[in-house]
């Protein structure tokens, strides 16, 4: 009964989340042989001022506003 | 020093949270023999568009708006 | 679909875990009106050398070996 | 910078984990447009006696020993 | 590649978060010998009505509104 | 009441953990003005075959056996 938590930056549309949840579930089914109804996906969004790599807040990095920087 | 995280859908009142925190703490005290002041409860609420079972977002499921579908 | 994570020290028997999982599930059903089959409980055990309060490892505290100090 | 945690039962081989990590990363890249090197996957394995659905430990359920019941 | 999650009450400024992320990263570098760019910090803020110690919600405790009660 | 989870690879000594817990607690006290006894640190160790960056398991990367690659 896999439980998957995906931590990504805020700013994704419901369509993107729908596609993501479906694709991740399919991936678990195909790689682990589990059933889709046993898979739970939790999308846990964070604000960029709450995430840091190398000691620098994501919101302080130049050009980190787009969806490609999730 | 038990630390309990409860992930539930958004939409519960403060009264429900108060009752939940009290009841969970009592449960840990009675089953584990710990002291109430050693128990921390974290209620971690999620949006229904951020939770999926079977590859389908909770917000897309019909009739999943009520409190009984937490 | 509540998902509950319980972080406790290692050293509990399967009987204690069985009782804990049952009691926590009952508590969620009675306080939130959810159904038992929608409740998942994850018991996440930690070693005492991996847990610190006040900057001191739990394994370094005197008399912290018993089950009452979970 | 997506961070993905996958909670599954113990008992998967390194080959399965390798395939899972690769497939999940590819899924995130294709659905979110992120770069592979920004994706971290954490496989968090649990013992069946530490996981319960419906108030019943997974280790107590009949026929729940195989890899298809993860 | 340390990943650090800091759960604190809401109400901290971006300046405090910036200082916290920097200081935690420095601490990991100096104690573990890791490189700063390998360290990720996630600040996970909670509402006081979602956190309880001793079975009592933090928002119900007298005088728990200030920044010193994080 | 800050709760800090530190995810690092297995292989650190108790002395390193002791120093880490102490240093992280001091950092939270100095940056947030909290009291040491309100700070909990959880060190959550992972196996290198359970952690992947860029879709590659940490255990598959060349030269990733040392303590500097945590």
Query: Alpha helices, DSSP H only, in chain E?
Result: 14-32
* Average model confidence (pLDDT) across chain C: 91
Would you kindly state where each structural domain of chain A is located, as residue ranges? 3-59
CA–CA separation, C44 vs A42, rounded Å?
A: 18
String of DSSP letters for B31-70? HH---GGG-EEEEEEE-GGGEEETTEEGGGSTT--SGGG-
CATH class, F3-61 region: alpha beta
Residue F8: strand pairing partners: F45
- Residues of C with Cβ-Cβ distance to B27 under 8 angstroms: 20, 23-24, 27
pLDDT score recorded for residue B67? 40
For chains A and D, CB pairs below 8 A equal 82
Q: Using CA atoms, how far apart are residues D68 and D65, in angstroms rounded to an integer?
A: 8
Residue A66 has pLDDT above 90, yes or no: no
Q: Is C56 on the interface with F (CB under 8 A)?
A: yes
Q: Measured between CB atoms, does E42 come within 8 Å of chain D?
A: yes
Residue F13 to residues C46, C60, C65, D58, F19: CA-CA distances in angstroms?
A: 16, 14, 20, 33, 10
Distance from CA of A1 to the nearest CA of C (A): 10
Residue E22 has pLDDT above 80, yes or no: yes
Question: D14: which DSSP letter?
Answer: H
Give the span between the Cα atoms of D52 and D60, in whole angstroms.
9
The yes-or-no verdict on residue F63 having pLDDT over 90 is no
Q: What is the mean pLDDT of residues E35-42?
A: 98
Report whether CATH 3.20.20.70 matches the domain E3-65: no
As a CATH number, domain D3-56 is: 3.30.429.10
Using alpha carbons, list the distances in angstroms from residue A34 to A21, D5, D19, D51, E55: 15, 17, 14, 16, 38
Contacts of B40 in chain F (CB under 8 A): 1, 3, 40
Residue closest to A11 by CA, chosen among A51, A39, A40, A56: A51
| Confidence (pLDDT) at B1 | 86
pLDDT digits (tens, 9 = 90+) for F6-29: 999 999 999 999 999 999 999 999
Residue F23: other Cβ atoms inside 10 A: 19
Q: Using the predicted structure, report yes or no on whether residue A23 has a pLDDT greater than 50.
A: yes
What are the angstrom distances between the C-alpha of F39 and each of B57, C70, F16, F28? 36, 17, 18, 8
How many percent of chain C have pLDDT more than 70? 90
Tell me which architecture the domain covering C3-69 has in CATH: 2-Layer Sandwich (3.30)
Q: Does D3 touch chain E (CB under 8 A)?
A: yes
pLDDT for C64: 54
In angstroms, the CA E46 to CA B32 distance is: 26
Q: What pLDDT was estimated at residue F62?
A: 86
The β-bridge relationship of strands F40-46 and F51-53 is unpaired
A3-59 topology per CATH: Macrophage Migration Inhibitory Factor (3.30.429)
Q: Do C1 and B30 touch (CB under 8 A)?
A: no
Q: Which residues in chain C have their CB less than 8 angstroms from residue B9's CB? A: 1
Taking CA atoms, what residue in B is nearest to F3? B3
Q: What is the SS3 assignment for C33? A: coil
Q: What is the mean pLDDT of residues A51-61?
A: 97
Pairwise CB contact (< 8 Å): D32 & A9 = no
> Scanning every residue of chain B, which has its alpha carbon at the shortest distance from the alpha carbon of F4?
B3
pLDDT of residue F1: 86
Is any Cβ of chain F less than 8 angstroms from the Cβ of E5?
yes
CB E24, CB E4: distance < 8 Å = yes
* Local structure of E1: helix, strand or coil: coil
pLDDT at D64: 54
Say if C21 is an interface residue toward chain D (CB within 8 Å): yes
Tell me, yes or no, if A24 comes closer than 8 A to chain D by beta carbon.
Answer: yes
CA-based nearest residue in chain F for residue E45: F2
Catalytic residue list of E: 2
Alpha carbon of residue E61 to chain centroid: 20
> Does D have 3 or more CB contacts under 8 Å with B?
no
**Running DSSP on this structure, what letter comes out for residue C28?**
H
Q: Burial level of A62, CB count in 10 A (0-12/13-18/19+)? A: exposed
């Amino acid at each position: 009964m896999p439980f998957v938590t995906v931590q990504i930056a805020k700013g994704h549309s419901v369509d993107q989340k729908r596609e993501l949840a479906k694709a991740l579930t399919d991936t678990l089914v195909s790689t682990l042989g589990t059933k889709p109804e046993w898979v739970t996906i939790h999308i846990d969004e964070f604000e960029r001022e709450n995430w840091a790599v190398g000691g620098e807040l994501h919101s302080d990095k130049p050009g980190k506003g787009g969806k490609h920087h999730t």
